[in-house]
Chains A and B, each alone.
Chain A
Amino acid sequence: MKPSLSNMLSQQVASSSFFDEMIATDGSPRPAYREVFRFLDELNGLQFTELQHLADMSLYTQGITFTVYSDARGTEKIFPFDLIPRLITHLEWQTVEQGVSQRMRALNAFLHDIYHDQKGLKDGVVPTRLIQGSAHYCREMTGLDVPGNVYVHIGGIDLIRDQDGAFLVLEDNLRNPSGVAYLVENRAVMARVTPELMHRYRVRPVHHYPQLLFDKLAGLSTVADPTIAVLTPGVYNSAYFEHSFLASQMGVELVEGQDLLVDNDVLYMKTTGGLKRIDVLYRRVDDDFLDPLVFRQDSMLGVAGLVGAYRAGNVVIANAMGNGVADDKAVYAYVPDIIRYYLGEEPILPNVPTYLCARKEQREKVLDHLSEMVVKPTDASGGYGLLVGSHASKQELAVFRERILARPDDYIAQPIQQLSTHPTFIRDGDGGQLAPRHVDLRPFAMCGAGGEVTVLPGGLTRVALTEGSLVVNSSQGGGSKDTWVLYPEGDHA
């Protein structure tokens, strides 16, 4: 008789040195996962393949896809979805929620300070050079008072778990974090494909995210019933599905730059009934492209005069411009100090150790141990131009060594993280098998005009589908899982 799926899995995980989300070191399932484990045992491999196929088709026919830039044909792909859910117990979630919330508050306070008195720079919390030299520093934001002093209305904080299962912050995304639509859609697919598994748990809902977002955005305006619009770069943007999803779920218009017009510092959209004023713009276009009068002149994605309208207080833009100065990978290293300085609190979620290549002694350490480091450029995102030392060829290592030496300020390095693993269905011909794959977690937080932070009880669990790979980005062959944050009861931990 064939060994069961879960047995094979236990053996694989027991011989690994990573923290596994489902299986403890003795090969038995962690308490919260017992029902998932049983569910997998009840299914045989073939049934599982069928379920997985059902889920894929559901995503495909709905067109829940993203565009891969490196592919010349601009091909759309579905974000690979894995059916085995990632569970987070109530206790674990409390830490995540409080830690993410704390980080959002601290970074908002930091941004307000950077664009006003810069006390933190004067007190040496963050080196002035780092802020002034940042490509994301936005002059137009200087001295500008934004509603509620909130800059980061929507943030995505990337978390990983170390060998002991403790959550660490890998990265802050304070500009245009994406992925929340997949999170909501993943849940819908799970409910459709594996309802019997969901019934065995009490999972906190996530489908109300668009309503939460709508309330937060509406609250930013002084107008009683404000007109909200979502600004997208267009259908060829990799996150277009999400933009369209959010607009339609909120019941607001999805606009492109060509739909907009600014007259006398007021933002309008062109409609079949004439011009209509916009009060709140949830923009998913990067700073550089928002307003050709202020930023890149060749940009067709924004609208001329938008910054003027914003500065005149006639439109609220979420997220604020110039947030990149706070989620730069070099500033990241200082976030624990930022939390202590602005909030007077100890960080709840620690950073992963980070080396600044700009500093001679740290740079030398990085170069000496390059094959054990993940090197990241400080001004890019999306996993492009990243070096994972252990998986790099000699040639790639040499290239990065030269790059670091040429522009040390542009790079940071982190020891290769022991991302936790999670059993994942790996396709193999017509069938497939379960195997541990590395995962991270991106919870989404919203900050309203009153400064209150709401963290959606869930998150996007991204999984590196290639064996041993630590890069979870969708653009680099990553997939995702549904993330179940459990209610206190039924918490077995």
Chain B
Amino acid sequence: MLSRTAQSMYRLGRHIEHAENITRLLDVTHRMSLESTLYSDVDVWSPLIAVTRSEEAYLAQYDSLEQAHVYSFLLLSQDYSGSVLSALRAAREEARTMRERISEEMWAHLNGMYLEMQRPPTVSQVLAQGSAAFNTRIQIFCNAFHGLTDNTMVRAVSWNFLRLGRFYERAVMTCRILEVKHHLLDAGPTGTVAALDLHQWEALLRSVSGYEAYRRLYRARIVPSRVMELLVCDDRFPRSVHYCLWQMQVALENLLTEGKNNPVLAALMRQALKLVQQEAVRDGILHQGLAAEMGTLQAALQAVADCIHETYFDVLTVVAADGVARKIAMQQPQQQQ
């Protein structure tokens, strides 16, 4: 498969996952803001900008953090490449360059949303509906896309790259959500959870669709260490970091048939998986705090992503047995007269 196409597949997976994650975050934050008496001294909107790593872009456009601005920025901005609208458009553009590689159904699904978003709603329209309607629509769209992908695509190279992108993006986002909420845990690691914090923990679980899962596994009492367990270590919960890493590992194993066996990539993958073992996470948080621990996880993920890039997307790089990447220098022929 063309390296560019493989990379497009990977990006397609990431864009769709990104769009879904943003709407989830917006939903939860919105719900928190509704109970604003409770949070009068808590700034609910700035964590969103932090999670999406978009402080600079946001401040270039707006000078205050308020709902309407954050919504129009993260949901509907045409200029900010990380907005939901931009991600959906980008996903469709990637798909357009490789229509022959995805199923008709997937294309029709993406193209239908693209056509709908040619006339996107305004912020006030979205908010007037209570915003959940729009966000739910996007979430269903994204999940339907995953469903179509899994039900109509041959389990071949394309499918694996697509899943690689999807689960990488999801793992990173779960790490980041936990990272910005670190003050919750750092304040009281194992003790009782105050009412305010309780709501925040609940919101956090909801943002990754984990509230029901948590209740079923651990019942109603929210204990921070168990939340961590569910969102990072539990390989049965489809949005946990562990589950995502496991899916990435499966995809990479399937890709071995592509003829490239990069032992470095496999090693990096195993290393990342070690980091999400229950004990490793507990020790990590104890020693360096939640934020730093999530930083370590993200660095491991980044290393895997870089290695994927070198192995499959930039074929002029070879990785020698010593693990050092080297660029092959290609000599361009001289101009003939």
Chain A interface (Cβ within 8 Å of chain B)? 60-63, 234-235, 240, 244, 247-248, 253-256, 258-259, 261-265, 269-275, 293-294, 304-305, 308, 311
> Chain B's nearest CB lies how many Å from the CB of A242?
12
A477 to B112, CA, bound (A): 24
Question: Known contacts A61-B108, A63-B96, A63-B111: does B336 contact A308 (CB below 8 Å)?
Answer: yes
Q: Are A247 and B100 in contact (CB under 8 A)?
A: yes
Q: Tell me which of A263, A273, A274 has the highest count of chain B C-beta atoms within 10 A of its own C-beta.
A: A273
A61 to B99, CA, bound (A): 13
Question: Known contacts A244-B99, A308-B333: does B259 contact A255 (CB below 8 Å)?
Answer: no
B176-215 vs A, CB cutoff 8 Å, 1 = contact: the mask equals 0000000000000000000000000000000000000000
A274 to B318, CA, bound (A): 10
Q: Are A272 and B157 in contact (CB under 8 A)?
A: yes
Residues of A within 8 A of B259 (CB): 273-274
Chain B interface, >50% SS class:
helix
Picked from B2, B96, B107, B255, the residue with its CB within 8 Å of the CB of A235 is B96
Residues of B within 8 A of A248 (CB): 99-100
B1 on the interface (CB 8 Å rule)? yes
Residues of A within 8 A of B115 (CB): 60-61
> Chain B's nearest CB lies how many Å from the CB of A458?
23
Q: Are B332 and A61 in contact (CB under 8 A)?
A: no
Q: Are A272 and B96 in contact (CB under 8 A)?
A: no
Q: Are B112 and A258 in contact (CB under 8 A)?
A: no
A240 to B111, CA, bound (A): 16
Q: Please give me the residue from chain A that is nearest to B6 by CB atom.
A: A272
B312 on the interface (CB 8 Å rule)? yes
Q: Are A253 and B2 in contact (CB under 8 A)?
A: yes
Picked from B2, B96, B99, B107, the residue with its CB within 8 Å of the CB of A255 is B2
Q: Are B258 and A272 in contact (CB under 8 A)?
A: yes
> Chain B's nearest CB lies how many Å from the CB of A228?
14
Q: Are A63 and B107 in contact (CB under 8 A)?
A: yes
Q: Tell me which of B108, B157, B312, B330 has the highest count of chain A C-beta atoms within 10 A of its own C-beta.
A: B330
Q: Are B107 and A271 in contact (CB under 8 A)?
A: no
Q: Are A271 and B2 in contact (CB under 8 A)?
A: yes
Chain A interface, >50% SS class:
mixed
Q: Tell me which of A61, A234, A255, A256 has the highest count of chain B C-beta atoms within 10 A of its own C-beta.
A: A61
Q: Are B333 and A262 in contact (CB under 8 A)?
A: yes
> Chain B's nearest CB lies how many Å from the CB of A342?
31
Q: Are A272 and B332 in contact (CB under 8 A)?
A: no
B316 on the interface (CB 8 Å rule)? yes
B219 on the interface (CB 8 Å rule)? no
Picked from B3, B97, B98, B331, the residue with its CB within 8 Å of the CB of A270 is B3
Q: Are A272 and B333 in contact (CB under 8 A)?
A: no
Residues of A within 8 A of B335 (CB): 293-294
> Chain B's nearest CB lies how many Å from the CB of A302?
13
Q: Are B315 and A254 in contact (CB under 8 A)?
A: no
> Chain A's nearest CB lies how many Å from the CB of B9?
10
Q: Please give me the residue from chain B that is nearest to A244 by CB atom.
A: B99
Residues of A within 8 A of B100 (CB): 244, 247-248, 254
B155 on the interface (CB 8 Å rule)? no
Question: Known contacts A235-B96, A248-B99: does B333 contact A271 (CB below 8 Å)?
Answer: no
Q: Please give me the residue from chain B that is nearest to A264 by CB atom.
A: B333
A197 to B60, CA, bound (A): 60
> Chain B's nearest CB lies how many Å from the CB of A357?
36
> Chain B's nearest CB lies how many Å from the CB of A111?
22
A248 to B255, CA, bound (A): 22
> Chain A's nearest CB lies how many Å from the CB of B319?
13
Q: How large is the interface on B (under 10, 10 to 19, 20 to 34, 35 or more residues)?
A: 20 to 34
Q: Are B93 and A270 in contact (CB under 8 A)?
A: no
B260 on the interface (CB 8 Å rule)? yes
Residues of A within 8 A of B316 (CB): 261, 270
Interface positions, chain B 153-169, Cβ under 8 Å from A, are 157
Chain B interface (Cβ within 8 Å of chain A)? 1-6, 93, 96-100, 104, 107-108, 111-112, 115, 157, 255, 258-260, 312-313, 315-316, 330-333, 335-336
> Chain B's nearest CB lies how many Å from the CB of A82?
22
Q: A258-B4, A259-B4, A272-B258 are in contact. List 10 more A-B contacts (CB 8 A).
A: A61-B111, A235-B97, A259-B2, A261-B330, A263-B330, A265-B333, A270-B3, A271-B315, A272-B312, A272-B313
A248 to B100, CA, bound (A): 5
> Chain B's nearest CB lies how many Å from the CB of A254?
7
> Chain B's nearest CB lies how many Å from the CB of A331?
28
Question: 28 A-B pairs, CB-CB below 8 angstroms?
Answer: A61-B108, A61-B112, A62-B111, A63-B107, A63-B111, A235-B93, A244-B96, A244-B97, A247-B100, A253-B2, A253-B5, A258-B4, A259-B2, A262-B332, A262-B333, A263-B330, A270-B4, A270-B315, A271-B2, A272-B1, A272-B2, A272-B157, A272-B260, A274-B259, A274-B315, A294-B335, A304-B332, A308-B333
Residues of A within 8 A of B336 (CB): 308, 311
Q: Please give me the residue from chain B that is nearest to A276 by CB atom.
A: B2
Picked from A63, A263, A271, the residue with its CB within 8 Å of the CB of B99 is A63
Q: Sorted from nearest, which 4 A-B pairs have the closest CB atoms?
A: A248-B100, A273-B259, A272-B312, A270-B3
Picked from B3, B93, B98, B99, the residue with its CB within 8 Å of the CB of A272 is B3
Question: Known contacts A269-B2, A270-B4, A271-B1: does B333 contact A305 (CB below 8 Å)?
Answer: yes
Residues of B within 8 A of A308 (CB): 333, 336
Q: Please give me the residue from chain B that is nearest to A254 by CB atom.
A: B100
Q: Please give me the residue from chain B that is nearest to A75 by CB atom.
A: B118
Question: Known contacts A259-B3, A259-B4: does B97 contact A293 (CB below 8 Å)?
Answer: no
Residues of A within 8 A of B111 (CB): 61-63
A111 to B2, CA, bound (A): 35
Q: Please give me the residue from chain A that is nearest to B97 by CB atom.
A: A235
Q: Please give me the residue from chain A that is nearest to B255 by CB atom.
A: A272
Question: Known contacts A63-B111, A255-B2: does B260 contact A274 (CB below 8 Å)?
Answer: yes
> Chain A's nearest CB lies how many Å from the CB of B262?
11
Residues of A within 8 A of B332 (CB): 262, 293, 304-305
> Chain A's nearest CB lies how many Å from the CB of B152?
16
Q: Please give me the residue from chain B that is nearest to A140 by CB atom.
A: B336
Q: Are B333 and A270 in contact (CB under 8 A)?
A: no
> Chain A's nearest CB lies how many Å from the CB of B226?
41
Residues of A within 8 A of B315 (CB): 270-272, 274-275
Q: Are A273 and B4 in contact (CB under 8 A)?
A: no
Residues of A within 8 A of B312 (CB): 272
Residues of B within 8 A of A255 (CB): 2
Q: Please give me the residue from chain A that is nearest to B7 by CB atom.
A: A272
Residues of A within 8 A of B331 (CB): 263
Picked from B4, B93, B313, B330, the residue with its CB within 8 Å of the CB of A256 is B4
Residues of B within 8 A of A271 (CB): 1-3, 315
A463 to B5, CA, bound (A): 36
Q: Please give me the residue from chain B that is nearest to A249 by CB atom.
A: B100
A261 to B336, CA, bound (A): 17
Picked from A62, A244, A254, the residue with its CB within 8 Å of the CB of B108 is A62
A62 to B112, CA, bound (A): 9
Residues of B within 8 A of A272 (CB): 1-3, 6, 157, 255, 258, 260, 312-313, 315
Residues of A within 8 A of B6 (CB): 272
A304 to B330, CA, bound (A): 12
